Structures are given as C-alpha cells and as structure tokens.
C-alpha cells in the first residue's frame, strides 16, 4: 500500500516551503523516521522523516519547488512487515485535516478576506508602503484583520513579483564576462533576510552610536576561572555571558531600548528575550535566549551553545527565532573592527561587538597597551533618544570594565 508523505505543519503563519534537498530517490528503501528531504521556510530548515518503512515509490515534487502545508511530497510503498507501522500513520490521518491546505484556498477568499481598514495601523502602513493588496494577505486576526506579520508573510510569498524586476538586468545587454559568472537562485531564507533588512532601513529612523570598552578585567577573570567554570558547569566561559548580563542591566535602567513601536503606541517589555546573531549554512539567523535575566552565567553560556549548535545543524525551530526583545551581534569573531549593525524588526536596538585589539591607552597618566573593543549600538531614533543610547552603552561599558557590578547587580 502506498503511503503519502505530506508537508507537515511548519509553524504559525507559515503556509509554504521550498524543497531544498532530497535525501532519497525513487526506489530507495527507507526505515521509519529516516530523513527524506529538507524543507526551507522563511526562517528555518526542517527535515521530513518517513512515517513507515518501505520503498520510495516516487517523488511528487522536485528540488527547488514550492510546496504548501499538507501537500504531497512523495509516496512510500510500505513493506509487509511495516503493515503495523502505518497504524501510527492513521494517527497522522488527521493529516487529512491537512485539508488546511484546502484552507490555503482561503487566499482565494482573501480577495475580500484581509480587512485592512479594520486592521492595526502598523499592518495598514506596511501594506500601503509595500503596495500589498488586501487580496494577497491571509489574515490571522479576528474578523479578517491582518497583523504586521501577515503583511510580511504576504510580501515573502510574492517573490515572483520581485523576480521579474530583477530579470531585466540580464536582458539589458550582453555581459562581457558572462562565461565566468555563475547565477544561483536566492534561497527563501536569503530573500527573507533581504526583505527584513530593507524593511528595517525603510521604516526605522536608524542611528548608530559608538563607545569602546577595556576588556582587561573580563579577560583576566575569564583566564583565572575558565577551567573551574567548565569543570563545574560543563560549558565554556566566553565573553558573551558578560555582555548579555551587561546589556540586561542597561535594558532595565533604560526600558526604551527594550521597547518597540506598534502603530501609535510604544510597547514596553518587562521581560528580556535576547537574540544572539549566529552564522548558519543557510545565512545569518538570530535565535532567542528566553528570559535571559533569570539565567546565571552558566545558564547563558549553555543556552547560547545549544542555540549555536542547532543553527549549524539546521535544527532551529520557528519558536527559537521569534519574539526577541533585543539583539547582540558579535562581528568580532570574524575579525570586524567596527560596523553599524542593522536593526532586527520589530526590535528597536541592536548591540554590535567587535574584535579585541591591543591599543595604546592612557591609564593613570601613563600610556599602556590595553585589549580594547569597539561597541556599536544601532537604534530607532523614533523611540530612543541619543541620551538614552549613550547612557545604555556607558552602562554596558561599566559592567564589562568592572564585572563585579554584574555579579552584585549594581
């Protein structure tokens, strides 16, 4: 009996994915839970596993094709011994509830569906600026109201409109060295990154302020205690935990840096979910360390380590990537001496860490070589004043240069 393998639920508001890579081919024998393919969404890459043991009868879609949630990916001819295994599959028979993709035709009803007039100001403004029609938006709010996320989802699902705009660049004329060039289609994740970065520049009044921090105290503390720390907690003591602690101290003192603008309102967040920008094979991602203010140094280092491994292995979930209140990006690990990081919407600020470099500094009236790091805070000037941005960086600087402050909470 042939068993259909369908696109699983991919997270709230995610209705479409791209088949990034097939791990099997027609005729291959597979075991239960064996990975069959990788699906790439706007945010993460997920694996789809075999629900039964048997032989791949056919692949219903090719690599690079777009698929809807609930759509058929392939068929498995279940082996005789696996006849009992399909029993769990009927449990997946709620997958016929994957007639939710039949709900995907709801976009057809969307011509009248997205009630922009009744939607929030943030959603209306974004839709107007980007030229997204109500018919293209799948609303998730009550009575057809669209959220800002619904508009963003509609934007990312219309790459076909953006693609033709890019096409004319090729026919515009012969390229002199076309034979030495390579054209690669942008991945769904890369398109989403591009859209979000451009959105940040278009919607926020972005400004960056700088400071520098003497890393002597933190480096000395780390050098003295790193072996004992790793032995006791099973995690390496890095610099990131100190910066997370220092940033949280600054966010508590200057709540506007942890806030966001929604329509005509400022939303102040009394929780601290810190996004940590990390590189992955698919591009830059920002997994979130939840309630970081409740974690000790070991908890922060373990949490960041786990998120980094998941990013490298392509195991991050939608939940890992959503809901951050403030982001820290460490370009120093790649050798960056200074940069102006771009905001991670809808957050209002992001801290950029950079390379530690020995520089001559005046200390106690004498010139001494000190390990210095430039810090950059990019922020939305609509909500954060220059005074608050400078004071935030000063607070971070104080915590790093005198780490006892972080331990005592002063």
Q: Which residue has the tokens 């068993």?
A: 3
Which residue has 């669209």 as its token pair?
Answer: 146
Integer-rounded Cα Rg, in Å, for the chain is 25
In the DSSP assignment, the letter for residue 12 is T
What would the DSSP string read from start to end of 162-213? Answer: HHHHHGGGTTTS--TTGGG----PPPHHHHHHHHHHHHHHHHS-EEEEEEEE
Q: How far is CA 389 from CA 128, 272, 324, 354, in A?
A: 31, 17, 19, 18
How close are the terminal C-alpha atoms of the chain, in Å? 67
- Contact present, 372 and 215 (Cβ < 8 Å): yes
The contacts of residue 18 (CB under 8 Å, 6+ apart) are 39, 40, 41, 64, 65, 66, 67, 187, 188
Task: Specify the residue for token string 């001559």.
Answer: 360
Instruction: Give the active site residues.
Output: 381, 385
Do residues 145 and 119 lie in contact, with contact meaning Cβ atoms separated by under 8 Å? Answer: yes
Cα–Cα dist 291/23, whole Å = 37
Per-residue DSSP letter, 299? H
Which tokens in the block code for residue 148? Answer: 């800002």
Helix (H, G, I), strand (E, B) or coil at 47: strand
Strands (E), 42-129: 45-49, 54-59, 66-68, 72-78
């Amino acid at each position: 009996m042939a068993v259909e393998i369908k696109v699983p639920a991919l997270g709230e508001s995610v209705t479409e994915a791209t088949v990034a890579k097939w791990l099997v081919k027609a005729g291959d024998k597979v075991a239960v839970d064996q990975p069959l393919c990788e699906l790439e969404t706007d945010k993460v890459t997920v694996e789809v596993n075999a629900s039964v043991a048997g032989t791949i009868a056919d692949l219903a879609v090719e690599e690079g094709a777009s698929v809807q949630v609930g759509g058929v990916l392939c068929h498995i001819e279940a082996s005789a011994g696996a006849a009992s295994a399909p029993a769990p599959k009927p449990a997946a028979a709620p997958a016929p509830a994957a007639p939710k993709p039949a709900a995907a035709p709801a976009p057809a009803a969307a011509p009248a569906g997205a009630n922009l007039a009744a939607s929030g100001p943030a959603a209306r403004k974004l839709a107007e600026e980007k030229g997204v029609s109500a018919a293209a938006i799948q609303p998730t709010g009550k009575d057809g109201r669209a959220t800002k996320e619904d508009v963003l989802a509609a934007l990312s699902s219309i790459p076909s409109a953006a693609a033709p705009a890019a096409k004319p660049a090729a026919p515009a004329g012969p390229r002199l060295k076309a034979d030495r060039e390579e054209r690669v289609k942008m991945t769904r994740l890369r398109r989403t990154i591009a859209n979000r970065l451009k959105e940040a520049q278009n919607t926020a009044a972005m400004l960056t302020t700088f400071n520098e921090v003497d890393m002597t105290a933190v480096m000395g503390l780390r050098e003295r205690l790193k072996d004992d720390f790793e032995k006791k907690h099973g995690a390496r003591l890095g610099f990131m935990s100190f910066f997370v602690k220092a940033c949280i101290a600054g966010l508590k003192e200057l709540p506007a840096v942890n806030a966001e603008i929604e329509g005509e309102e400022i939303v102040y967040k009394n929780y601290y979910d810190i996004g940590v920008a990390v590189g992955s094979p698919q591009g830059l991602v920002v997994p979130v360390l939840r309630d970081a203010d409740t974690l000790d140094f070991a908890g922060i280092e373990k949490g960041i380590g786990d998120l980094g491994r998941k990013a490298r292995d392509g195991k991050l979930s939608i939940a890992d990537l959503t809901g951050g209140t403030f982001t820290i990006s460490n370009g120093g690990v790649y050798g960056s001496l200074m940069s102006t990081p771009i905001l991670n919407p809808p957050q209002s600020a992001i801290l950029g860490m950079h390379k530690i470099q020995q520089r001559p500094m005046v200390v106690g009236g004498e010139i001494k070589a000190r390990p210095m790091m430039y810090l950059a805070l990019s922020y939305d000037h609509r909500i954060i004043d220059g005074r608050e941005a400078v004071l935030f960086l000063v607070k971070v600087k104080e915590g790093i240069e005198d780490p006892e402050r972080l331990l005592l909470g002063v």
